[in-house]
Amino acid sequence: MKKSIYILFLAFISIFFIGNSCNKSEGKSMIVIMLGPPGAGKGTQAIDLSKKLKLPHISTGDLFRENIQKNTNLGQKAQSYMNQGLLVPDEIVLDMLFDRVAKEDCKKGYILDGFPRTVDQAKALETHIQNNKLVVINLEVPDGKIIERITGRMTCPKCGEIYHKTYKPPKEDSMCDNCKIPLTQRKDDTEEVAKQRLSTYHQQTEPLIEYYKNQKDVLYTINGISSKEQIQQDILTSIEKSK
Ligand code: AMP
């Protein structure tokens, strides 16, 4: 009797350790980072992914725009940087983001869109989250496609659905298909600001690709000019692989 209890105990211990070593992400919250140039489709993909994974979509750009709309102190500080296509300073971004991810809905993980945008921000995130599962999805889109994508973009101010005048036109001219209200264009989606945003991306954000390449099994690069459905499928496959 004693022997069989001992064998059962050993079996239990081995299953526990084998299980843990096979799936290191088990029990950890998953943080998905959407990386890529402006206009790569990070927001569009993050919205769909958020529904599928049941994790909140957190866009630092959207958080800033909400603050600007409400005319908060934070919004006033961020606005001039955004209008010029420059990055908002870290001391403003980090507090805002960490306040958001401390909320209850982020306990099981979240999808970050537009953060981190610098290696310093990535390091600050790692210090803050520690021991969570990180998956970085890098959407690759050539520069030649970016400006056209950005300047044709329109968003529903209510549901956040993103349209494009050529690639994803609404059924009725400039109206959201879901909410039936006029679509709006972002203030920084003009050609001049888009060019600056692209240059900011190359200088300050692109080094993150190398940074995450140097971390084992974290970075997944996906062709961002396939169809919306294909890209979503590639993202889901990458997330599955990372487990
Ligand atoms: P997005 O909606 O992600 O394209 O962001 C719009 C603008 O918000 C950017 O051009 C920046 O000015 C600002 N912004 C958004 N996220 C960040 C961030 N992580 N760090 C600094 N600035 C940001």
Span 87-110, average pLDDT: 97
Which has the closest alpha carbon to 47: 113, 116, 114, 134? 113
The percent of residues above 70 in pLDDT, for the chain, comes to 89
pLDDT of 143 higher than 70: yes
| Active-site entry in 65, 117, 133, 149 | 117
Tell me if 164 CB under 6 Å of ligand 1. no
Q: pLDDT-based confidence at 28, cuts 50/70/90?
A: confident
Q: Is the CB of 198 inside a 6 Å radius of any atom of ligand 1?
A: no
Question: What pLDDT, on a 0 to 100 scale, did the predictor assign at position 25?
Answer: 53
If pLDDT is split at 50, 70 and 90, which confidence band does 22 have? very low
Average of pLDDT values for 34-61? 97
Instruction: Give the global pTM.
Output: 0.87
Decide: 93 in ligand 1 pocket, CB within 6 A: yes
Identity of the residue numbered 29: S
Which residue's CA is the closest to the ligand 1 atom numbered 15?
A: 61
> CB under 8 Å to 139, separation ≥6 — which residues?
34, 35, 36, 40, 41, 42, 45, 222, 224, 231
Confidence band for 21, pLDDT divided at 50, 70 and 90: very low
User: Residue 200: what pLDDT?
Assistant: 98
Q: Is 228 a catalytic residue?
A: no
91-101 pLDDT, tens digit each? 999 999 999 99
| Residue whose CB lies within 8 A of the most ligand 1 atoms, among 60, 113, 125, for a mutation test | 60
Report the 10 Å Cβ neighbour count for 76.
Answer: 11
- Residue whose CA is closest, atom 8 of ligand 1? 61
pLDDT, tens digit, for every residue of 154-208? Answer: 999 999 899 999 989 999 999 999 999 999 999 999 999 999 999 999 999 999 9
